Amino acid sequence: MESYTSMETIVYLTEITALISLWYFHRKRGSARTSILLTALGIVLLTDTLLFFDWFPSAEYVVINLGNGFQMILYMFFFLSLMRHGTFIRTMIIYLIGFTIYWMVDSLFFHSIVNEIQYQIYVFGAAGVLIFILAYVHQDLLKSHRAIPVFHRYLLWISGALFFYLAIEIPIFTMINYMMENDVTEMVFPIFQLQSLVAMVYYLTYSTALLWAKTV
């Protein structure tokens, strides 16, 4: 348990550095669009701060579920705001609205936001973010005629890291949900460690990308 706590601490510190790095980039070269991403990352850090210091233990599920739900909505809204062509925009809007309605209905009638972790909401939201990232990358790499090298574009670095993170998080969350429901606990610890390592790679990208990024 001590190593798991140490891993949690390292992840938490990388989240702080990620928020500071994104804030720095936002101040220098950002826009209203990057402020959406900054808000999403702020919600992630706020959620994990409440959990890390155990400030509201009786409301732990509420903190986790609200944090997960709102960060997914903001991630989707962020990538939607980056779209310049109408090919995917309508589909993305429908998915975003559908996810929001699904989350509300599921919380009210099926999976309580108070008494359990809403794994299916996280997976549904993460899958949507992956689709939104692919649409953005398709637009920016295949349809765009920008002369700026890909290596120097900050948001493409972040998009790639987020795609890597969520693509691994979906099966991890699915496995954890299965193990918790079937009381298979011996593999939970190494899976949490893997989850922490993937998270660290994602959050550190916000800092390392500053070394090469010259624009959004």
| Closest among 205, 200, 164, 211 to 14, alpha carbons compared | 200
Cβ atoms < 10 Å from Cβ of 188: 14
- pTM as predicted: 0.90
| Closest among 100, 62, 54 to 80, alpha carbons compared | 100
- Series of mean pLDDT values for 10-residue runs along the chain (216 residues): 67 95 89 92 95 87 94 96 84 95 92 88 95 90 61 86 95 82 74 89 94 68
Please report the pLDDT score of residue 96 as a whole number: 96
Gap between the Cα atoms of 113 and 108, Å rounded: 8
Structure token pair of residue 108 = 């009210």
Please report the pLDDT score of residue 216 as a whole number: 57
Strand partners, 215: 153
Structure token pair of residue 45 = 């850090």
Please report the pLDDT score of residue 20 as a whole number: 96
